Structure 1
Amino acid sequence: MAFKPIWYVLITPVGGTAQDVSFYVSDMTASGGGGLGSSGSPPSGGAVAIDIQDSTTDQASTFSLNLWDHENTGLLTQFGIGDEVQVWTDTRESQSDITETATVTTAGISVPVKAWLSLSDTSLQTSTSVDGKMWGPFAPVNPDGTIQSPPYRWIKVNSGSATVTYKAMPKRLTGLVTQYDTGQSGPNFKAIALSGQDYTSKTMNVLVTGAYLNQTYDYIIKDILSIYFPDITTNHVETGAGTVDYISFQSKAAFDAFGQLANMAGWDWYVDENKDFHWFSAAENPNPIVLTNTGANANVLEGSVKVTVDGTQMQNKITFYGGSYESSARTESRLGDGQTTTWQLTYPIAKYVSYANASQLTPQTPTVSVNGVAKTVGQDGIDTGMDFYISTGQNYITQAQGATPLASGDVLTVTYTYWIPLIIQQQVDASIAQFGVFEGAMTDSSQTNTATAVAMVQGQLQQHAWPIVYAACDSWEPTFASGQNVQFNLPDHGLNDQWMRVTQVHHQMSSEDYIVTVTGYGQQA
């Protein structure tokens, strides 16, 4: 069982206005094939008219779109890199699926896809060949003559009247063109293939710099978006992920910064088809439809199931190597003997050490006293006129040259701070007991907060401490979306109503088929 698709596609050239190209979207089967062909060879194969790979978190969603300029309108030169593409798609479903009815005028109603039936402005007739139903995207006309926000799917015409039954068509993607190819095989077969990525890809091209202290996850996300992405809204940025003690980004791609926050919180994110940012708990966002290949509710295409259990990415013991953080103040005392002018301290003094992250912080200046009387201290080779000097990167303090050595019994007191390298190690004992040790390492020299580092390691362990189950299958259900949690009931493959997080939904549409490939992953049950 499968459904035929319908679609509505708008392309907005850079600096231009939106153009409805639904009429030209085609798999080009009407020309005898599906490929673009060339001047020397005709189209061949059986191309997909629209291909959308809806992804979340680890990569941007992608799309490809084939347009056939069968009316020789100059379509090949109208679009280019950076153009915005909006796509609505759905299936031609049963009459029982219709839930809304409205009476509209006939003006402006059409089904702008050449392979399908069409309604003219002057005639609204029922076609008995399709049992009174006409499929396709259209924009109903309001009483004042304005067009309602497109698009809708399903047109069911009642014979002899202007009553049209319709339902809103889901929007699948808003993206930007990153590549296009043109081809021609005859004067009446000119085609252009557009491909690109959704608005999530914009976060890959912008570097973020900033630091946040005791701020909630949603605050950090909204702040980054307001500074770097004012065109992306935040209507679906949820609260409740908790508070970040400290985190800093130094020229880090926003995509990676959002991914780091998601990994720490155990949440998920993406930019949707309306250019709105979604930040939500990965444990929530369920889809009520179960993907199953058994029983009366089977909705998985036979022979399409693939399940992989992967232990190659396991990490159940992780060591995190961060930057360095400043210690609390430490006080040490040394005794004079009438001869010694240089004393060794336990650690190099932070103020005079070029260490990981030292350049980003202002460490405490050390204090020095002799028998309780304050003395001046500076950096050897740079400062002058001081009582004591400290060499860069060394744990020694020295009296000024020519000064009288401290007498026997004199007490030299130094209060200073030093750098502590941030090293965190966490493990999952239950996984180690079952599978043995699988060690991994994480490195982020910009990270100096212990609590944040622990959260990052815990997020990594949650994803990799156990074997991962990947499942993919084809269905005709178009309601699945990346980021959802879906039950996979594929008992002959060892999955019994197992909840899995959807990482990709692949929509492929031709004139005859609408196939949806759903890919999810979860930990081995």
Structure 2
Amino acid sequence: MIQVKINTVDRSELINWASLSLDQAITNEVDVLSFEYKKYGARTYAPAINDEVELYEGAVKIFGGYISNISESDLNGAEGIVYMIQCLDYGSKLNSVLATKSYQTIVAPYTYRKKITITGQTGAGTGYQVPVLVGESSGAAGANVHVAGHSLSFPSAKNVSGDLRFRGSDGTTELPFWVEKVTGTTPNRVAKIWVKVAADLGSNQDIYLYYGGDATNVSSGDNTFLLFDDFSGAAIDTAKWTISDATGLSVASDVLTAVNNNGRIMSKTLFSGGVEQMVKFKATSKNTGGEMVGGFFLTTTNGVGILYHPGTNSRYYRNDNNWTGLTGAEIPDNVDYLLSVKAYATTVAIIMKAYSDLSTIQDYGTITNTVSAESVALGKRYDDATNTGGTTLFDFVFVKKVVATEPSFNTVTAEESLSGTAWTIETIIDNLISSYAPGFTTNNVIGTFTIAKIVFNEMYLSDCLKKLAEIVKYDWYVDEEKDIHFFPKFTNTAPFNLTDSSGNYINETLNRTIDGTQIVNQVKVRGGESDGELYTDIITVKGANTKAFTLPYKFSGLTIAVDTGAGFVSKTVGQDFKDDPSTKDCLYNFNDKTVKFPAVLADGNKIQFSGYPKVPIKSVISNTGSIATYGLREKIINDPSIVDMTTARKRAKAELLAYQSGSNEISFETYTSGLRAGMVINLDSSRRSTVDNYVIKKITFKTKSSEEFSYIVSAITTNKLQLLDLLQKLVVKDQGDINDSEIAETILTDLSDIDITELIRKVVPLLDQVDLETSESVYKNPLGDGVEPTWVLGPYAPTSVSDPKRVGRLDISLKFY
């Protein structure tokens, strides 16, 4: 039984069943229901716009929506009215609400963190370098803090950060750091890391260790220390060092080697008290005169440092103009040592340790010396005595801040798990619907795909859903219960299929159209132009009479630099015939591919140009099987709006897929319910020798009687539907780039009635009687008795009483003779 309810009241008995029709189309998310309704006699209900209408087939609700259009006419033979009613389904409401929302997935770059407290010390100040021992797991012996095995890429060697990061107490300020070494074996390795703390370590400060994320190497000694060199290049870095004599000095395999050298390297950065110099070195053999392995140097009589010297009781240090030798056995070769030279205000403390376990080899004590604007110096003796033989290898040297009592690691808190904000298709739709369409549900939304960022700026909700569906190639619709369905394309299968004996269509109503006139098996798409790879070249000017130069291509993002003999200098580039030449260094004519300068360039000048050449878009795709069957059938598509190869290939592929074997469409009628537009139905017909899937593009529900529907169905092969989808997207342009800072302004109109009260006072006229006196001065014969004025034709104003001139009037005082 078919039933129609309006505002939940059954109005079926007044429906003209022959007029009732329900149309569903895949090209339109909104279903349309139309029918005639009669009002007469005691049937007094009159339909109104936005009344809710529900259509039932038995107990199953197959339509829900609202009246959108009403046409009325007189009812013949009765005092009544016939209404022709058109209804749009619930989904139409999504076309009437504009959404302004933005969603951005914020992925926590690191999964975990721990807070480390550093004990501050007086005078440490900002930018102090503090060592932190980081363990790979809780079993890492000697570590200050461990990452509990949660590091995705623990440091593996010197100057390799892995996924460790240090930040300030705000959790955002990145702190520079350098990984000095990694000891032990997995999973209990320990990394010694120097961290440059931005906050003032004159008092305790907190920093954070982050891990479990990006493993891009950010370890940097240059960013961490006042001076740093681990000799990682192929030569001595002359930006950092002055070389007195390069003989015997070389850099290779991350080591500075001094072999029988008679020169030294001196830092270009000069240092005074308040710094510590640390040098890691090893000698394979000793220089007969000794090698300076660390210290500060200004002149042969102003310096302090350690001389690595052969023999017993030869543990020498230099203090300005003097050598001091300490007793002890000869320091063995082929051992890595770490030398520390701490320069305070007026003293220097020097100590040498074995690098492997930091055991003390020699404590040189505290030396009275004032380091002031001096270089770090390695190599030749500070007294300039000649060296002979010996090989010394320097691994690294750096200079850091120092105070008498240094800041150090104090405590660490428990591990924190970090999370970001992830917006999936499903959560975005949930949020949109709850924000703008609270009467709808999202029980059948499928979409775990995470969206990095998407902006809806004054878009209808239906368009928002379309945009999301296009991203993941999904379909969607709103059902008769106001629930949104969002699902992968071609997965919404029909409850039945079609075969020769299925009985699922009315006999002799199944028609199949095979259009072979449109077969295409080779498609060429010619689009517009796209940007190629960055292209850079140089034009050398010949002669001195040219202001315009032709480039090999049309460029986007063109940059120009000119070398007139002192190196290339960047020029501002304007657009020819648009920009004022006086405001630009040169003008570029895109169509002519020329660059124009305001004056001729000299012979030998060089023009460096760089940009992205415009490359014509052309894509060709073919189907060899179809060509073998039908012969070559080509089609060319000219579409300048296609400006990238990906779109061109998609267009060519979709066109070929749709037409390589002709296009198939079917139509049929059925009494079997359950179909809806967008479902995939299979036709398996031995009689027609075909097996294929079709997408239902349109269904019309017609009443066979008040008890039963018949359904007129048309469907199209999925390949042709994909082409239609593509063509529709090419025709319907996007809104364009959305400015994230754009402000959505809401203007509300108030249609309320306003009462205005006005007070009017009636004023009674008042009669006021007053005596007024006036006086007037009258001059009799002002020119004298019997003296007639000199008459003039006016206008004229006498200048005074005695002025003899007066204006005469022809009708009174003047006569013609």
| TM-score of the two chains, using structure 2 as the length reference | 0.41
Cα distance, 1:345 vs. partner? 0.6
Identify which of structures 1 and 2 has the higher relative contact order when contacts are C-alpha pairs closer than 8 Å and 6+ apart: 1
Asked whether 1:347 is paired with 2:347, we answer no
Residue 331 of structure 1, CA deviation: 1.4
Aligned match of 1:238: 446
Q: CA separation in 2, counterparts of 1:243 and 1:426?
A: 32
- The alignment partner of 1:431 has SS state of helix
Aligned equivalent of 2:78: 187
User: 1:69–1:189: 8 Å Cα contact kept in structure 2?
Assistant: yes
CA change 1:270–1:506 in 2 (3 A) is: same
Aligned to 1:366: 559
80, 83, 88: which one aligns with 2:55: 88
Distance across 1 between alignment mates of 2:656 and 2:625: 12
Please report how far the alpha carbon of residue 184 of structure 1 lies from its aligned counterpart in structure 2 after TM superposition. 1.4
Indicate the residue corresponding to 1:390 in structure 2: 588
Q: Distance in 1 between matches of 2:537 and 2:550?
A: 10
Q: Residue 53 of structure 1: which of 9, 14, 23 is its match?
A: 23
Tell me how far apart the structure 1 counterparts of residues 442 and 479 of structure 2 sit (CA, whole Å). Answer: 11
Q: Give the TM-score taking structure 1 as reference length.
A: 0.60
The percentage of counterpart residues that share the same residue type is 17
**Aligned with 1:27 (options 16, 40, 43):** 16
Aligned partner (choices 486, 492, 497) of residue 290 of structure 1: 497
From the superposition, tell whether residues 387 and 502 of structure 1 become closer, same or farther in structure 2 (CA, over 3 Å): closer
User: How far apart are 1:516 and its partner, in Å?
Assistant: 2.1
Conserved 8 A contact 2:100-2:457: yes
What's the offset of the Cα at 1:52? 0.9
Secondary structure of 2:492's counterpart equals coil
CA separation of 1:344 and 1:277: change in aligned 2, threshold 3 A: farther
Identify which of 5, 9, 31 aligns with 1:9.
Answer: 5
**Partner residue in 1 for 2:633:** 437
For residue 61 of structure 1, give the secondary structure of its aligned residue in structure 2. strand
Structure 1 pair 299/454, CA: closer, same or farther in 2 (3 Å)? Answer: same
Q: How do 1:447-486 residues align onto structure 2 when only pairs under 5 Å count? A: 448-486=643-681
| Aligned counterpart in structure 2 of residue 332 of structure 1, from 504, 515, 537 | 537
Shift of 1:444: 7.0
C-alpha displacement of 1:185:
1.0
Pair 1:502 & 2:696 matched? yes
> Displacement of 1:442 after TM fit?
6.9
Residue pair 1:213, 1:247 contacting (<8 A) in 2 also: yes
More helix by share: 1
Output the amino acid matched with 1:437.
R
Distance 2:99 2:633 in 1: 36
Larger relative strand fraction: 2
Task: Work out the CA distance in 2 between the residues paired with 1:226 and 1:191.
Answer: 40
Does the Cα contact within 8 Å between 2:558 and 2:609 map onto a contact in 1? no
Asked if the contact 1:56–1:503 (Cα under 8 Å) also holds between the matched residues in 2, the reply is: yes
Mapped pair 1:79 → 2:32:
no
Question: Are the equivalent residues in 1 in contact too, given 2:511–2:668 (CA < 8 A)?
Answer: yes
The 1:235/1:427 distance shift into structure 2, 3 A limit, reads farther
- 1:468 and 1:341, CA in 2 relative to 1: closer, same or farther beyond 3 A? closer
Matched letter for residue 283 of structure 1:
F
The 8 Å contact of residues 104 and 451 in structure 2, kept in 1 or not, is answered as: no
In 2, distance between residues paired with 1:286 and 1:183? 45
Q: Give a deviation string over 1:149-168, Cα, whole Å, max 9, x none.
A: xxxx2xxxxxxxxxxxxxxx
CA shift in 2, pair 1:388/1:312, >3 Å: same
Q: How far apart are the structure 2 equivalents of 1:449 and 1:481?
A: 37
Contact between 1:25 and 1:65, CA under 8 Å: does it hold in 2?
A: no
| Structure 1 residue 179, shift from structure 2 partner | 5.4
Superposition RMSD in Å:
4.7
One-letter code of the match for 2:544? G
Max radius of gyration: which structure?
2
Bigger mean CA offset, 464-473 vs 321-330? 321-330
Which structure 2 residues correspond to residues 26-425 of structure 1 after superposition, within 5 A? 26-27=15-16, 47-48=18-19, 50-57=20-27, 60-76=30-46, 78-80=47-49, 83=50, 85-91=52-58, 153=59, 169-174=60-65, 177-178=68-69, 180-187=71-78, 190-198=81-89, 219=425, 226=432, 230-231=436-437, 235-239=443-447, 267-292=474-499, 294=501, 298-320=503-525, 324-336=529-541, 337-350=543-556, 364=557, 366-370=559-563, 371=565, 372-379=567-574, 380=576, 381-384=579-582, 386-391=584-589, 393-401=591-599, 405-407=601-603, 409-425=604-620
**CA distance in structure 1 between the partners assigned to 2:687 and 2:628 by the alignment:** 29
Secondary structure, counterpart of 1:451 in structure 2: helix
Q: 1:420 to 1:495 in 2, by over 3 A?
A: closer
- Aligned CA distance change for structure 1 residues 492 and 329 (closer, same or farther; 3 Å): closer
| CA positional deviation for 1:194 | 1.2
* Native 8 Å contact 1:176 1:199 kept in 2: no
Gaps of 5+ in 1: 11-17, 29-46, 92-152, 154-168, 351-363
1:26 counterpart letter in structure 2: I
Q: 1:306 to 1:257 in 2, by over 3 A?
A: farther
Judged with a 3 Å threshold, the aligned counterparts in structure 2 of structure 1 residues 309 and 85 are, in CA distance, closer, same or farther, namely farther
Unpaired runs of 5+ in structure 2? Answer: 106-421, 720-817
Q: Identify the residue that residue 516 of structure 1 maps to in structure 2.
A: 711
Q: Secondary structure at the match of 1:454?
A: helix
CA contact (8 A) 1:183 1:190 kept: yes
CA offsets, 1:33-87, max 9 Å, x none? xxxxxxxxxxxxxx23x311222136753221221224454444x323xx26543
Q: What number of residue pairs does the alignment pair up?
A: 393
Q: In the alignment, is the contact (CA less than 8 A) between 1:387 and 1:399 conserved in 2?
A: yes
Separation of aligned partners in 2, 1:23 and 1:464: 47
Q: Tell me if structure 2 keeps the 8 A contact 1:503–1:520.
A: yes
SS in 2 for 1:27: strand
For the Cα contact (< 8 Å) 1:88–1:170, is it kept in 2? Answer: yes
**Amino acid in the other structure paired with 2:701:** H
User: In the aligned structure 2, how far is the partner of 1:375 from the partner of 1:172?
Assistant: 67
Q: Distance in 1 between matches of 2:649 and 2:101?
A: 20
Tell me, in whole angstroms, the C-alpha distance in 1 between the residues paired with 2:648 and 2:95: 23
In the alignment, is the contact (CA less than 8 A) between 1:56 and 1:504 conserved in 2? yes
1:280-318 C-alpha deviation (Å, 9 max, x unpaired) = 333322234234562xx5233233332222335544444
Q: Specify whether residues 432 and 418 from structure 1 end up closer, same or farther in structure 2 by C-alpha distance, changes over 3 A only.
A: same
Alignment partner of 1:427 out of 622, 630, 655 = 622
Equivalents in 2 of 1:276, 1:442: separation in Å? Answer: 42
1:344 CA drift (Å) = 0.7
Q: Is the 8 A contact 2:681 2:695 kept in 1?
A: yes
The one-letter amino acid paired with 1:171 is: I
1:449 deviates by: 4.3
Give the Cα–Cα distance (whole angstroms) in 1 for the partners of residues 432 and 72 of structure 2.
Answer: 35
Q: Helix, strand or coil: the match of 1:430?
A: helix
